[in-house]
Structures are given as C-alpha cells and as structure tokens.
C-alpha cells in the first residue's frame, strides 16, 4: 500500500493533476441539482469524454435530467490521454482522434435508446458516437479551458461541472466567474480561502456543496503515480481528505439554521489580542446571545447559513488586513490570543456575526 494524499496541495506542488473523480461521488452530489439541470447546457471543460465520469454521468442521464446539451472538451496534452482510463470499459477506437490531434470536443443534444433495449445507457452513447459523425469534432488548439474555442463553448453553456486541475484552480475560477457561469466543481477546503473564491462565498454567490467535506474523496490516478492509498481491480486510488464541492447553485443545507445552545460569558470565551472578536473553537460553542464578531474554524463554511450569519472575512493574509486585524506577536496579521501568558495563533478562522440578534 502506498501513502495517502493529505490534501490537494501536494497535487498542486507536484502538478499531479490527473485525479479522476469516481462515478458514485458524482452521483451523490449531482442528485441534488436535478431541477437546475432541466433545459440547461452542461459543459465539462476539463474532461476527456473517454475518461471522465462526469461525461458518463451526464450522457447516461441526459434524458432523465432533461438536458438541452452536453459538451465535454478534452485537454490534448493530458499525459494519459487514450492510454489508461476508459469509462466505456473497453478499447474504444475512434480513428480520427487517435490519428489526428488529440484535443477534441463532444457535443450531444440527444441520447436515444439507439439499440432499442428499453434503456438509455452507455451503449447508446457509444452507438451515438459511432453513428453520428458530427458529435465528436477536433479542436484547433490543445483544449485548454482558457483557449478561445473553449471560451466560446463556455459562453454558450449554462453550468460548468467538473473537477478542474488543482494546479490551475484559481485560473479556473477566474475564467468561469468572468463569464458569470454557474458551476459545480471539486476544490478543497484550502481553496475556499483563495482570493478568487472567498469573496464569492462572502457575497453568497457560491457555497460548499451537499457532500460533507470532512469525508474526503478517493480519486482514480494513473498507473505511474507513485503516491496512492490503495489498489482496487488493478487501479490506483488516492484519498484527498480535504476535497469539497463548490457551487453557485442553491444548496439547501445552507438555508438551515444552526441551533445554538451556549450562553455567552466573558470567562468562557477568549478575546483576540489583535482584533475585537471572541474565539469559538468549535461551532457548537457559538453563543446564541453574542452580538459581536466571532472567529470560528473555516469548516463552519460548510454549515454557514447567510440568513443567520454574516460572513465578514478570513482571519489571515490579505483578508485580515482588509478587516483591520493588527499585527500579532509574530509580526503577522493572523489572529492571536494569549493563554497562560503565552501568545498563540488558533488554526484558520473565519469571522462571523450573528444576524439574528
């Protein structure tokens, strides 16, 4: 057994971007958005259709979800393109693709029961790809999600759904939000505090998805990756403990009110040395009667109901400067408090205020 991936930061550092999302994880999240998919154009823009379970999910459920169109573009320089993973479970030869340039797109506007077996499934998608030549076309460039032709497809779509390369996560968010597109994507808890992401959450324009982000997710990885968690049916899987879904679509858990049981007392809550706020180390300890600013762990973003709490900022880096957090004992703007005469910094905090008081 290999080592497990603690988080996607390693992927970022190693540029190991080939983490393939498992179908059950996609199904688990997507089932909540059915109403949002109807009559919509879905774009999977980091997804080789022959390898991506996002493409598999949306093509298999095309009719059930009432999609208008499904577009998937494949990045030509993907190191494993056509070599290892194959959602069709067999060697599917599309000669035009293999002989020519690698990057291509697939656009589907209907999936019928072509083999007349009474069910619409992947065999019908396969048949569609074989029989309708205009479904699969080559791209001029390499299929980079920022390329001109992919941007044209982005403009056309309604919702972007994918697991983008983590090493390009900031650029990905910037591109998708620039064209004001809805998205459901996989990121990680660390990316929530990125300058491209946090302001979206603060403005209630994006939020974490349905899958609880403390669970972590397993991803299929190419054979040549040395770091992995386990091997299943000859395939390597890596666990990313900090994976989470991020979306612009409504997520009902973020409309649920968090029950608060604790009464505020200055003896039970420590104040920061460099900012006028109290520290609450677990969200279950948020007092119901405190009307000032509170620092809570970033994991609370997965529970945040913007009707109940105002999200003011992040207690570190540039966001801390924005809030006016003063320099701490280390000369940094991270939140700090003093315990038994010793200055300390709590682990990553977001700053919130109860709007209901």
Ligand X SMILES: C[S@@+](CC[C@H](N)C(=O)[O-])C[C@H]1O[C@@H](n2cnc3c(N)ncnc32)[C@H](O)[C@@H]1O
> Binding ligand X by CB under 6 A: which of 43, 54, 290, 337?
54
Write each residue from 318 to 347 as x if it is in contact with ligand X (CB under 6 A), else as -, in one continuous string: ------------------------------
Minimum distance from CB of 165 to ligand X (Å)?
4
Retrieve residue 59's tokens. 């093509």
- Which is nearer to ligand X, 50 or 314 (by Cβ)? 50
Query: Judged by CB under 6 A, does residue 20 bind ligand X?
Result: yes
- Which is nearer to ligand X, 22 or 344 (by Cβ)? 22
Query: Judged by CB under 6 A, does residue 144 bind ligand X?
Result: yes
> Binding ligand X by CB under 6 A: which of 7, 12, 21, 190?
21
> Binding ligand X by CB under 6 A: which of 7, 17, 182, 302?
17
Phi then psi dihedrals of residue 232, to 5 deg: -135, 125
- Which is nearer to ligand X, 85 or 251 (by Cβ)? 85
Pair 247, 204: CB distance under 8 Å: no
Torsion from C-alpha of 60, 64, 70, 73, nearest 10 degrees: -30
The pairing of strands 293-297 and 349-354 is antiparallel
**Residue 164 CA: distances (Å) to CA of 17, 130, 154, 313, 328:** 8, 28, 14, 26, 36
Query: Judged by CB under 6 A, does residue 75 bind ligand X?
Result: yes
Q: What is the CA radius of gyration of the chain?
A: 23
- Which residues have C-beta within 8 Å of that of residue 145, sequence separation ≥ 6? 45, 46, 73, 75, 154, 164, 168, 172, 175
| Selected range binding ligand X among 35-43, 52-60, 124-132, 306-314, rule: CB under 6 A | 52-60
Query: Judged by CB under 6 A, does residue 7 bind ligand X?
Result: no
- Which is nearer to ligand X, 46 or 286 (by Cβ)? 46
Write each residue from 87 to 126 as x if it is in contact with ligand X (CB under 6 A), else as -, in one continuous string: ----------------------------------------
- Which is nearer to ligand X, 92 or 310 (by Cβ)? 92
Long-range CB contacts (within 8 A, 24+) of 25-30: 25/211, 25/217, 25/218, 26/53, 26/54, 26/57, 27/57, 28/210, 28/211, 29/184, 29/209, 29/210, 29/211, 29/245, 30/57, 30/161, 30/184
> Binding ligand X by CB under 6 A: which of 30, 42, 46, 192?
46
CA 196 to chain CA centroid, Å, is 13
| Selected range binding ligand X among 15-23, 124-132, 310-318, 338-346, rule: CB under 6 A | 15-23
- Which is nearer to ligand X, 165 or 209 (by Cβ)? 165
Minimum distance from CB of 103 to ligand X (Å)?
9
- Which is nearer to ligand X, 80 or 260 (by Cβ)? 80
Query: Judged by CB under 6 A, does residue 16 bind ligand X?
Result: no
**Residue 205 CA: distances (Å) to CA of 194, 293, 330:** 15, 22, 34
Query: Judged by CB under 6 A, does residue 19 bind ligand X?
Result: yes
| Selected range binding ligand X among 50-58, 175-183, 270-278, 294-302, rule: CB under 6 A | 50-58
Query: Judged by CB under 6 A, does residue 187 bind ligand X?
Result: no
- Which is nearer to ligand X, 45 or 274 (by Cβ)? 45
Pair 111, 63: CB distance under 8 Å: yes
- Region of 336 (left: φ > 0; alpha: ψ -120 to 50; beta: rest) is beta
> Binding ligand X by CB under 6 A: which of 163, 189, 247, 274?
163
**Residue 333 CA: distances (Å) to CA of 261, 298, 320:** 31, 17, 6
* Rounded Cα distance, 141 and 76, in Å: 8
Query: Judged by CB under 6 A, does residue 218 bind ligand X?
Result: no
Pair 65, 59: CB distance under 8 Å: no
Query: Judged by CB under 6 A, does residue 78 bind ligand X?
Result: yes
- Which is nearer to ligand X, 136 or 185 (by Cβ)? 185
């Amino acid at each position: 057994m290999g080592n497990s991936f603690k988080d996607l930061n390693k992927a970022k550092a190693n540029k190991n971007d080939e983490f393939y999302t498992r179908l059950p994880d996609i199904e688990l999240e997507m089932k909540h958005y059915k109403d949002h998919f109807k009559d919509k154009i879905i774009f999977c823009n980091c997804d080789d259709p022959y390898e991506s379970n996002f493409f598999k999910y949306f093509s298999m459920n095309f009719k059930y979800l009432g999609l208008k169109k499904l577009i998937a573009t494949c990045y030509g320089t993907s190191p494993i393109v056509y070599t290892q993973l194959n959602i069709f479970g067999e060697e599917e030869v599309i000669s035009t693709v293999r002989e020519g340039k690698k990057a291509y797109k697939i656009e589907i506007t209907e999936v019928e029961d072509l083999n007349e077996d009474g069910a619409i499934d992947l065999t019908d998608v396969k048949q569609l790809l074989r029989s309708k030549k205009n479904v699969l076309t080559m791209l001029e460039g390499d299929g980079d999600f920022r390329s001109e032709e992919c941007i044209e497809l982005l403009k056309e779509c309604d919702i972007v759904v994918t697991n983008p390369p983590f090493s390009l996560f900031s650029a990905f968010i910037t591109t998708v939000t620039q064209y004001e597109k809805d998205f459901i994507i996989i990121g990680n808890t660390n990316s929530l505090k990125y300058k491209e992401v946090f302001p979206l959450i603060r403005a209630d324009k994006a939020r974490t998805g349905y899958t609880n982000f403390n669970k972590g997710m397993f991803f299929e990885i190419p054979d040549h990756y040395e770091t992995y968690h386990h091997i299943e049916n000859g395939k390597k899987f890596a666990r990313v403990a900090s994976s989470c879904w991020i979306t612009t679509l409504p997520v009902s858990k973020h409309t649920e009110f968090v029950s608060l049981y604790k009464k505020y007392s200055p003896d039970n809550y420590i104040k920061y040395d460099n900012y006028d706020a109290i520290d609450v180390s677990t969200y279950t300890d948020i007092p119901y009667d405190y009307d000032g600013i509170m620092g809570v762990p970033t994991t609370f973003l997965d529970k945040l109901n913007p009707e109940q709490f105002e999200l003011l900022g992040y207690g570190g880096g540039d966001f801390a400067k924005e809030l006016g957090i003063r320099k701490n004992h280390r000369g940094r703007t991270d939140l700090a408090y003093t315990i038994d005469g010793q200055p300390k910094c709590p682990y990553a905090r977001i700053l919130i205020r109860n709007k209901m008081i």
